[in-house]
Structure 1
Amino acid sequence: MGGNLSAQDEPASKRVAAALRGRIEKGELAAGSKLPSEREIASEYEIARTTASAAIRLLEQEGLVLRQHGRGNFVRETSPLIRLGGDRYSRKYRGGPTPFRRECERAGLTPRVEVLAAEQARPPIEIAQRLGVDSFTESVLQRSNLYFADDEPVQVVNTYIPWAVAEGTPLVERKQTGKDGIYGRLEDCGHIMTTIREEVTARMPDHREREMLALPGGTPVLQVIHTSIDQNQSPFEVTRFVLRADRNGLLYQLAVD
């Protein structure tokens, strides 16, 4: 015996999840709309309520459905912030909003940044390697921020700057860094960004990230490790961005040599 299983050989929960997924993809169940109740799904597809619940759970794990306790199940809305990777650090924007604020404004969202910490710290090994600093001592300033769009947490951001660069500057203070953000203050120190390197990966969040970003079940994150390189070809700042994958997108438009 062998061959592919027919649809009827699949568990009923998977068949019902596939039917609901198709209705979502076609727009019959629009983003933000409430799904039929488990009782209604059970009746429509002639299955048990426990099977209907299992089907909804599959869609939740795929990131298509959001369960709201006491309210029901809803088709998840997607209105991503687009991170313009090749353009966001351009000097033409100096004196205006920071990159995150510009991206929020383009999406019609209200930005807010909460400074969680600014402290001398021992860097993770991968950060120390990128900066060329000691990983066994408190060789960096670590600034930790939580970024909000319309009061929804969307990014966890940790910035690492060699302590030899940051010491004695406004960067060490636990507050907003003023006009042009950290890059304005780093230019004050003589470090002008001329090159960037960004490494992008996707993964599931850890427990702390899930909590900070209020992530629904099954939601992955995008991780961007950004390295700033100055006019002397020296790395002077590394930032790790952890972005909700359902609320953020990446756009890189680069010239080809």
Structure 2
Amino acid sequence: MNDDWADDMAEQNADRRPPSRRIADTLREKIEGGEFAAGDRLPSERELAATYQTARNTAREALSILQTEGLAMAQHGKGVFVRDRKPLMRLGSDRYSKRARDESGLSPFRIEVMKQGRVPGTECRSVTQVAPPADVAERLDLDPARDTVVRRENWYFADGEPVQVGVTYIPVAVARDSALATEKTLGRGSIYARFEELGHAVTRSREEISSRMPTPEEASGLLMPPGVPVLVVLHTSFDQNLKAFEVTRFVMRADLTGLDYRIPVED
């Protein structure tokens, strides 16, 4: 018996990881080490089964683990490939540009994603009226025990993949009976065009950034692999009178998102 083969088998027998996990971990190390680069095809189920002397369904499960973790993606009829993990950047300094919105008729997110050569998608899943969360009420100068806000829940996609969820809170006194309070689809210019029609042009914003682990609902909806945190951006918009008129809580996959801010230095 070949001594090297015997040593390998002894090491595998001492390893308590399931065979599929062991194969996935080895492939992950090769991806992270640069042996497999973005766009490279990974070994097929047949090749992995032969290399690791295992069943094809075990090899299939190993490849599935890498896809679940966001490291690989399957292309029908071609195989499984290493994903390009270049993050989607949040361009904080110019994403709310009025000129860009007027010229394109698009929302800030769509403009931002298209700038980066990707295909944007958005889905408004609900429009309701609720009491504001305490931190939102504080930023909008509302009383959470008395005041009501319009709550708009939006999910955001890049190249068909969910990358973030945003929940927007608008004082009822601002939204009134406009489309902001009643419609999921807001038309050309999206939400900030509708705010301008109501007399609230965004002139300044504040973004508070933190991180945490996702809730089970966030992890499921954003298709997040285990162990990946989320970035939370609490965005507040101020109008021409420096009055806060909306707050949006963005929850983003930290492994797929980057933040890019260019900020003037105050005297």
CA gap of 1:39–1:144, structure 2 versus 1, over 3 A, is same
Q: Deviations over 1:166-209 (max 9, x none)?
A: 12111112322122221111111111212110011122110111
**Counterpart-to-counterpart distance in 2, 1:157 and 1:202:** 15
Contact preservation (8 Å) 2:42, 2:82: yes
Matched residue, 1:128:
137
Matched residue, 1:156:
165
CA gap of 1:64–1:121, structure 2 versus 1, over 3 A, is closer
User: What is the deviation of 1:26?
Assistant: 4.0
Which stretch has the larger CA shift, 131-140 or 72-81? 72-81
The reply on whether 1:28 has 2:35 as its aligned counterpart is yes
**Counterpart-to-counterpart distance in 2, 1:101 and 1:112:** 7
Contact preservation (8 Å) 2:70, 2:225: no
TM-score, normalized by length of structure 1?
0.77
User: What residue identity is the alignment partner of 1:233?
Assistant: L
Contact preservation (8 Å) 1:84, 1:251: yes
Q: Which runs of 5+ in 1 are unaligned?
A: 1-10
Q: Deviations over 1:202-223 (max 9, x none)?
A: 2211011111112222222211
Q: Which has the higher helix share?
A: 2
Matched residue, 2:205:
196
- The RMSD of aligned alpha carbons is 3.4
SS at match of 1:165: helix
CA gap of 1:31–1:192, structure 2 versus 1, over 3 A, is same
CA gap of 1:126–1:137, structure 2 versus 1, over 3 A, is same
> For 1:136-175, what aligned pairs fall within 5 Å after superposition?
136-137=145-146, 139-175=148-184
CA gap of 1:134–1:39, structure 2 versus 1, over 3 A, is same
CA gap of 1:138–1:119, structure 2 versus 1, over 3 A, is farther
Matched residue, 2:96:
89
Matched residue, 1:178:
187
Match of 1:219 among 213, 223, 228: 228
Contact preservation (8 Å) 1:193, 1:228: yes
Which stretch has the larger CA shift, 106-115 or 158-167? 106-115
**Counterpart-to-counterpart distance in 2, 1:34 and 1:204:** 30
Q: Would you say how many aligned residue pairs link Structure 1 and Structure 2?
A: 237
Contact preservation (8 Å) 2:209, 2:233: yes
Which stretch has the larger CA shift, 32-41 or 113-122? 32-41
Matched residue, 2:114:
105
User: What residue identity is the alignment partner of 1:193?
Assistant: V
**Counterpart-to-counterpart distance in 1, 2:50 and 2:31:** 17
User: What is the deviation of 1:74?
Assistant: 6.7
Identity of aligned residues (%): 44
SS at match of 2:228: coil
**Counterpart-to-counterpart distance in 1, 2:80 and 2:230:** 22
User: What is the deviation of 1:73?
Assistant: 8.4
Matched residue, 1:230:
239
**Counterpart-to-counterpart distance in 1, 2:94 and 2:73:** 37
